[in-house]
Amino acid sequence: MAPKDTSLSLAIVSLMVHFRWTWVGLILPNDHKGNKILSDFREEMERNGICLAFVKMTPETWTSYVAKFWENMDETNVTIIYGEIDSLEGIMRNIEQRLLTWNVWIMNIEHHVIDRADYFMLDSFHGSLIFKHNYRENIEFTKFIQTVNPNKYPEDIYLPKLWYLFFKCSFSDTNCHVLENCQTNATLDIFPRHIFDMVMNAESTIIYNGVYAVAYSLHEMRLQLLQMQPYENHHGMVFFPWQLNTFLKNIVVKDKRSLDWRQTIDAEYDILNIWNLPKGLGLKVKIGSFSANAPLGQQLSLSEQMIQWPAMFSEIPQSVCSESCGPGFRKVTLEGKAICCYKCTPCADNEISNETDVDTCVKCPERHYANAEKSNCFQKSVSFLAYEDTLGMALASIALCLSVLTAFVIGIFVKHRDTPIVKANNRALSYILLITLTFCFLCSLNFIGKPTTVSCILQQTTFAVAFTMALATVLAKAITVVLAFKVSFPGRMIRWLMISRGPNYIIPICTLIQLLICGIWMATSPPFIDQDAHTEYGHIIILCNKGSSVAFHSVLGYLCFMALGSYAMAFLSRNLPDTFNESKFLSFSMLVFFCVWVTFLPVYHSTKGKVMVAMEVFSILASSTALLAFIFGPKCYIILLRPDKNSFNYIRKKTPSRKNFPKI
């Protein structure tokens, strides 16, 4: 007729979940009941992610097994002890002998058993927790305890001994059952609960319920049999034992519990905390309760501020196999270990975990990024090579300064247009080249600022056309110099080319070829606005995608081909008088131009985002500056600083006869 502990495993596991104890030990009796409760514990623990560090079965004898039994007990800070009173005596004595004060013991043992413990055992169990069935207080029993007295029940031989111990009475010399020197109004309810508890304990309650059930069942059976078998001829009625069983099943005792052992009982438990303060007191304080019938999440009720933990813990003890993996980390199960034993590894790039002990990290959405701690995703900010940026401002300033410088050079050439050095270097081609270089510098501004569809197209077309015109002009100047000074006996065709300024037609022809390439590019796969969400951490870079990589490299290849052609023509005229031609400066400018763009390609493909755009702008400015500096720098030097060299007399003295020129 004792209640079954059908909800004990659920109650204890709920406590584990509350305190986040995931690594616990279990001590059980080595019998059928122990195996049954072990199965219940395993089921509940597996459901809640709790692991057993060890399972110990209490031995029948402690003589040879005691040392091995206590091995590995320090693996966990929390140990569950389950069993009956008799089976736990050996466990408690061993705990007393070993002074195991570092563990939180969770027991189902009735609290009055602890009262039998001595001073050292109480110290070992300080801070332990006890789950006991919640029995409703028997009011009649409490009233009986409050009024009981040896004088009121003289036939009770136990009460005089109790009064002798508690109230310091003395026995009569003539009768050992009679007390003397006692207070007449002394009652047991004046003592604190740790000395004398007036509440009926579990064993007494079970016995009381059993006696009550049998008596009530006999009464019910007698009434029913009287109705079925009337009392006749003063013969007694015959009762059979099996007839009582039916009535016992239907009895509900005073605490509303059925006595049918086959029924599942949703028990309620009180949770007691052992306080051994001051030493040897051994108080059992109720700090919470558990009700299986309560709504989910409200079954466990605790007053944590009342709980006293073992002396070695200054706060709530931790009982885990592995430390918790905080936000930004995930668990990785160790091979061959329980699921509670794991290692923590950081989340991968752009993945987060904002909870503890997660199994997998969550990838941030496309337009979001993970913070440095990998605990939150944030919206990426839009970024591009803007004029407000330091890099963008620097490049724009350089481009504008170089454009102004080119305009200044144009002004110098216009002002000194009738001087020999300007005339001798093909004045018209110089004007075209300077104007084209101005556009080359200004076209770099298309790469700075927020990209649009129009700016993406203009970036490549203006760059390609402007540089083609510049290189074509340089090529025309180089061919003109070669035709003028290296042909010893010019024929009719050469004379016609010189008179009609035929080399100048190279400029529109080469430009048309580049326009054709750009037209095919724009028609098939034009540049478009693209987004780079991976290169720069926390930013989405808006940039222009070239569209067709083949077309882009074809444009660059055509420019390099023209640069090589100009370099070859300038190289042929390297030994001509410096006063009349700039052949060696043309060679240097083309060589620098070629080196800049050959270097640009691998660097361009190895960079991403704003750096890639800045690299292209830098290449445009560097190659344009090389043309301006090498071709027009020496002329400006002579015009502004050495005007004595810019005269016809000086030119005549420096000019050798045509017959001394090397032949082609």
pLDDT band (50, 70, 90) for residue 260:
very low
With cut-offs at 50, 70 and 90, classify the pLDDT of residue 442: very high
Q: For residue 616, is pLDDT > 50?
A: yes
Q: What is the pLDDT of residue 13?
A: 93
More confident call, 151 vs 64: 151
Third-level CATH fold of 8-134+267-306: Rossmann fold (3.40.50)
Out of 150-154, 243-247, 460-464, 568-572, give the one with best mean pLDDT. 460-464
Which residues is 330 bridged to in the sheet? 345
Question: What span, in angstroms and rounded, lies between the C-alpha atoms of 198 and 164?
Answer: 18
Is 494 exposed, middle or buried, given 0-12, 13-18 or 19+ CB atoms closer than 10 A? Answer: middle
Q: Is 284 helix (H, G, I), strand (E, B) or coil?
A: strand
Given a cut of 90, is residue 349 above it in pLDDT? no
CA distance 442 to 405: 12
Average of per-residue pLDDT across 361-385: 88
Query: Which is higher by pLDDT, 264 or 124?
Result: 124
Helix, strand, or coil (residue 117): coil
Q: Where are the domains of the chain?
A: 8-134+267-306, 329-379, 390-655
Q: Which of 209-213, 549-553, 604-608 has the highest mean pLDDT?
A: 549-553
Residue 194 has pLDDT above 50, yes or no: yes
Residue partners of 42: CB distance under 8 A and separation at least 6: 52
What is the model's pTM? 0.57
Segment 586-614 mean pLDDT: 82
Least confident of 276-290, 312-326, 467-481: 276-290
Cβ 7 vs Cβ 266: under 8 Å: yes
662: confidence class by pLDDT, cuts 50, 70, 90? very low
Q: What is the DSSP string of 535-578?
A: SSTTEEEEEEE-S-HHHHHHHHHHHHHHHHHHHHHHHHTTTS-T
C-beta of residue 558 within 8 angstroms of C-beta of residue 513: yes
- pLDDT class of 150 with cuts at 50, 70, 90: confident
More confident call, 329 vs 337: 329
Q: For residues 402-430, give the mean pLDDT.
A: 87
Residue 396 has pLDDT above 90, yes or no: yes
CA distances (Å), origin 227, targets 71, 175, 216, 243? 66, 52, 17, 15
Average pLDDT over residues 638-655: 73
Encode pLDDT of 84-135 as tens digits.
Answer: 777 777 777 777 667 677 789 898 876 455 555 555 566 778 888 999 887 6
pLDDT of residue 311: 81
Residue 512 has what pLDDT?
Answer: 94
Arithmetic mean of pLDDT over the chain: 80
Q: How high is the pLDDT of residue 664?
A: 39
pLDDT of residue 630: 86
Cβ atoms 8, 269 nearer than 8 A: yes
Nearest CA among 86, 116, 104, 136 for reference residue 15: 104
The pLDDT value given to residue 579:
53
Lowest-pLDDT choice from 73-87, 399-413, 446-460: 73-87
Mean pLDDT of 563-576: 76
Check: CB of residue 125 under 8 Å from CB of residue 11. no
> Taking 60 as the threshold, does the pLDDT of residue 152 lie above it?
yes
Which has the minimum average pLDDT: 206-220, 423-437, 490-504, 511-525? 490-504
Stretch among 29-43, 233-247, 273-287 having the lowest mean pLDDT:
233-247
User: What is the pLDDT at residue 261?
Assistant: 41
pLDDT at 253 (0 to 100)? 54
What is the third-level CATH fold of 390-655?
A: Rhopdopsin 7-helix transmembrane proteins (1.20.1070)
Name which residue leads in pLDDT, 591 or 551. Answer: 551
Instruction: Name the amino acid, one letter, at 422.
Output: V
Q: Among the listed ranges 241-255, 508-522, 586-600, which one has the minimum average pLDDT value?
A: 241-255
**pLDDT tens digits along 506-563:** 889 999 999 999 999 999 999 999 888 777 778 888 888 888 889 988 998 898 888 8
What is the per-residue pLDDT across 275-305, written as a single tens digit (0 to 9) for each? 877 665 667 888 999 998 888 888 999 999 9
Number of H helices, E strands in the chain: 20, 19
Mean pLDDT of 581-592: 75
Residue 278: is the preceding peptide bond cis (ω within 30°)?
yes
Residue 228 reports pLDDT greater than 60: yes
Higher pLDDT, residue 130 or 253 = 130
pLDDT at position 492 is 55
The residue type of 529 is I
pLDDT of res. 262 = 42
pLDDT of residue 641: 87
SS3 track for 234-253: CCCCCCCHHHHHHHHHCCEC
Rounded CA separation 183/189 (Å): 14
* Contact yes or no for 638/421 (Cβ under 8 A): yes
